[in-house]
Amino acid sequence: MKFGIVVSEGPYQHQASDSAYNFVKAALAKGHQVSRVFFYHDGVNVGTRLSIPPQDDRQIQEQWTALGKEHDLDLVICIAAAQRRGLLDKNEADRQGKDADNIAEGFRISGLGQLIEMGIQADRTVTFGD
């Protein structure tokens, strides 16, 4: 089965990112495919490289980055939600005249078209968060 995943809650305010991460790991371990993980609303905060959780806390961004690298996952951050929350990749920072970018390795910014495409291509779309 081919899954599309939506994460729409922030990484430390809600369990959605943790649940999505564990679901994706389990699905891949069972031989399923994950076509894309789309981070939306506050879920985009998973993809910032500037978060520094305490050492004894969950390292959510690092976990997603490692999982994405290991399984060649498409980790997409919604551009509109990201801009509202101050998350920018290099191209968007340059385009907006900002002097820094903060998207973590393995994540990319794109639009809602990627969410629609994921929904069309996946057998099931599973949403974590509101």
Q: Assign 95 to helix, strand or coil.
A: helix
- Record the tokens describing residue 6, joined without a space: 């939506």
Helix axes 16-29 and 60-71, enclosed angle (nearest 10): 20
According to DSSP, the residues that pair with 125 across neighbouring strands are 4
Taking only Cα atoms into account, the Rg of the chain, rounded to an integer number of angstroms, comes to: 14
- How far apart CA 50 and CA 37 sit, in angstroms, is 20
Which residue out of 7, 34, 76, 78 is catalytically annotated?
Answer: 78
Q: Is 26 a catalytic residue?
A: no
Walk across the sheet containing 33-39 and list its strands.
107-110, 75-78, 33-39, 2-7, 124-128
What is the set of active-site residues? Answer: 78
